[in-house]
Amino acid sequence: MISRKDFLAKSLKASAGALLTGATGGLLKGRPSDIITILYTNDTHARLDPFPDNATQFAGLGGIARRANIIKKIRRNQPNVLLLDAGDVFQGTPWFDVYGGEVDLKLMSEMKYDAMAVGNHEFDHGLDGFAESANKAKFPILAANYNVAGTLLNEFVRRFIVKEIGGYRIGIFGLGIQLDGVVDKKLYGDVQYRDPEVWANGMVRSLRQYQGCDFIICLSHLGYKYDNARIDDVELASKVEGIDLIIGGHTHTFLDNPVAIQNPSGKNTLVTQMGHSGVRLGRIDLDISSGTEVNMSDRFYTIGKV
């Protein structure tokens, strides 16, 4: 087994020339114990039930029970699984209108999500509603660039977590979108937005140097790409050195494969997003079996057509 230092160097090299097999590509060939599997969702928007069969878009697709079933099947074969979400779990169906986000977060806890980012719609029932629902989550809720000190969210929102999985340390931090102009001020109260680029740089430095992380994931609710001056995942990847993978949300972008963006070190950061409404589950496998390089393979599952 390669050392943590060697793993870091090799993983960054591998992501610059990642083996990305596509939506229908086969899995990597290392033993299950030598593969770290990252599963992810974003912008599920309280879509607990499948779309109706007569829906004009995504007819018959989605459904949290189907997603849970796929995740269970993957876990039976892969011992090293991370399950992540990039925010906007709340809002979009009567489930949220009646129950807030409590049911979503309870079910995600039962599915053993490891972390989620804070999306702007998490504020739709105000800080009281967010905190009440967050109290049901048995996993961390992340937003490094939101200062929640002195608010009801201080108990629930964290900047980062570190997961030791497959013998390696994986750092995960969250970034949230500028709330002003997107969310009514009375809903987010005294939560303060801070520059995502500045905080991403700080998180990478802390996770690499002080937490000893081998691989860094950003759960971002900034959005994939904009034509205006608002910072997005593509810009973040190009400006911040040391993020291996950005799992994004907010713009509801369906990416069939992760996009490689060159960062200031000359290496690549992978950016990915799985659309919205839980119609897809993304998967990235890190194969560490060779001891000399780390290969990446990606695919997605269309929920309801698996």
Mean pLDDT, residues 192-202 taken together? 98
The confidence score (pLDDT) of residue 293 equals 65
- Summary mean pLDDT of the chain: 89
CB hemisphere CA count around 275 (13 angstroms): 20
Share of the chain above pLDDT 90, in %: 82
Token pair of 239 as six digits: 């400006």
Q: Is 257 left (phi over 0), alpha (psi -120 to 50) or beta?
A: beta
The confidence score (pLDDT) of residue 168 equals 85
> Hey, what's the torsion of the CAs at 225, 153, 207, 274, to 10 degrees?
-30
Mean pLDDT, residues 61-90 taken together? 97
The confidence score (pLDDT) of residue 30 equals 61
> Hey, what's the torsion of the CAs at 134, 137, 143, 146, to 10 degrees?
20
Q: What is the pLDDT of residues 273-302, one digit of tens each?
A: 999 999 999 999 998 666 556 688 999 999
Higher pLDDT, 10 or 20: 10
Mean pLDDT, residues 162-190 taken together? 95
Q: What is the pLDDT of residues 203-216, one digit of tens each?
A: 999 999 999 999 99
Residue with tokens 């890190």: 286
Mean pLDDT, residues 186-202 taken together? 98
Domains of the chain from N-terminus onward: 4-302 (3.60.21.10)
Point out which residues pair with 297 in neighbouring strands.
285
CA distance 4 to 78: 22
- Indicate the range of 1-5, 70-74, 75-79, 215-219 predicted with least confidence: 1-5
Token pair of 120 as six digits: 């702007």
The confidence score (pLDDT) of residue 14 equals 38
pLDDT over 70 at 230, yes or no:
yes
- Amino acid identity of residue 265, one-letter, is S
Point out which residues pair with 270 in neighbouring strands.
245, 260
Instruction: For residue 194, name the pLDDT band (cuts at 50, 70, 90).
Output: very high
Q: Could you tell me which residues come within 8 angstroms of residue 180 by beta carbon, excluding any fewer than 6 positions away?
A: 193
